[in-house]
Amino acid sequence: MPVFASRLRAARKQRNLKQAELAQRIGLRPSAISNFEAGGRTPTFHNLRKLADTLEVTTDYLMGREGGDTLYRGLGRLSDEERDIANSFIKTLLDRQKTRNKQKDE
């Protein structure tokens, strides 16, 4: 699978969006998102920017030119202790989200 397709899918899933929800947010048909994620089509530059903005990642990330999304851009400048705190906080948020999702499903 091309880098763009896999990163688009990963960013979308990380934000708990369905293809149709992402498509609606940026004004495309769900089939366009499906085609992007399958590697059958690539977006125009305009749509690439809308995808990146909506998913809160950079266009470079989606295109495979950088390793992380905007959340992690500044981590390299933090001390080891500060990175540990950030990672702990993110883990706590993810655990809370998982608990909320379980409660929703019940």
User: 28-44, pLDDT tens digit by residue?
Assistant: 999 999 999 999 999 99
Assess whether 26 and 68 both reside in one domain.
Answer: yes
- Structural domain including 53 reads 3-72
Assess whether 81 and 68 both reside in one domain.
Answer: no
Supply 22's token pair.
């992402």
Assess whether 83 and 65 both reside in one domain.
Answer: no
Q: How many domains does the chain have?
A: 2
Is the pLDDT confidence value at 47 over 90? yes
Q: pTM, whole model, 2 decimals?
A: 0.63
Question: CA-CA distance, 59 to 51, in Å (whole number)?
Answer: 8
CB 3 within 8 A of CB 49: no
CB 70 within 8 A of CB 55: no
CATH code, 54: 1.10.260.40
Assess whether 12 and 37 both reside in one domain.
Answer: yes
HSE at residue 87, side-chain half, CA atoms within 13 A, is 9
